[in-house]
Amino acid sequence: MFTKAIVRQPSSNFADGLTSVDLGVPDVDRALGQHRAYCEALVRCGLELIELERDAEFPDSTFVEDTAILTHRCAVVTRPGAASRTGETVSIAAALAPYYDRLCRIEPPGTVDGGDVCQIDEHFLIGISDRTNEDGATQLAEHLAAAGYTSRNVDIRGLDGLLHLKSGISYLGDGRVLVTEALAGEKGIEQYELVRAPDGEEYAANCVLVNGHILFANGFPRTKSMLDELGYQLIDIEMSEFQKMDGGLSCLSLRF
Ligand code: GLY
């Protein structure tokens, strides 16, 4: 069970953040409304929110998930792979310090974005991407191993349309993962029970399992009906403004 989540509202200059998609300029007021609904959903799932100050120094700082890997036994403060995001970890480390005795860090030349790290029970998949390099993945694997977890790398650098590993995969519990076609055949993934997001609904593959609920991006009816049929309790969230900035549901919180 999760009891808390760290969140941070999008800053006034959210639209100046990084993006690789061509979906238009996000509307900050609308993004704030969508973020509010997201936070309300987390509260509905039983979480207490730790709300950090908006930070216009870092336009991508609402995507808090990239700055840390949180487990039951340790926290790892990352070193985000985009230079404009490296400084985001300062306030995150401070926010985590009261809650973790074991707070490790990714050191240069390693880089890790939390969006590249998918926890499946006691095992972690670590995406090697344009943001997470092999040195960072090795450091992270060592920290996780010291805390009793296993991991394996999944190289996503040749896969189109995936900023992060979790842009295309989410753990649904009970050995089942929601995954895009592009990732479904990758070593380390194929052994799970796969629910495949249909072509055109790849964005829906990033969802968040929280205390028996699934936060799910609005607007992907075929994936939604697959999950409905499997009996999941979905909470639909409008994500249009975050999608414009390459952000998914998991990116908007650090749950622990
Ligand atoms: N806009 C999110 C990221 O590129 O990291």
94-109 pLDDT, tens digit per residue, is: 999 999 998 999 999 9
Backbone angles phi and psi of 173, in degrees to 5? 90, 165
Per-residue pLDDT, 100: 97
d(CA 203, CA 219): 10
Closest atom of ligand 1 to 163 CA is 4
Does pLDDT of 193 surpass 90?
Answer: yes
Q: Which of 39, 45, 207, 251 is catalytic?
A: 251
pTM: 0.98
- Residue 161: pLDDT over 90: no
**207 counts as catalytic:** no
The answer to whether the CB of 194 falls within 8 A of the CB of 184 is yes
Stretch 193-205: mean pLDDT, rounded?
Answer: 97
Please tell me which residue in 118, 143, 164, 207 is annotated as part of the active site.
164
| CA of 20, closest atom in ligand 1 | 4
Ligand 1 binding site (Cβ under 6 Å of any ligand atom): 17-19, 60, 63, 82, 245-247
- 123 labelled catalytic: no
Ligand 1 atom with the smallest distance to the CA of 85 is 5
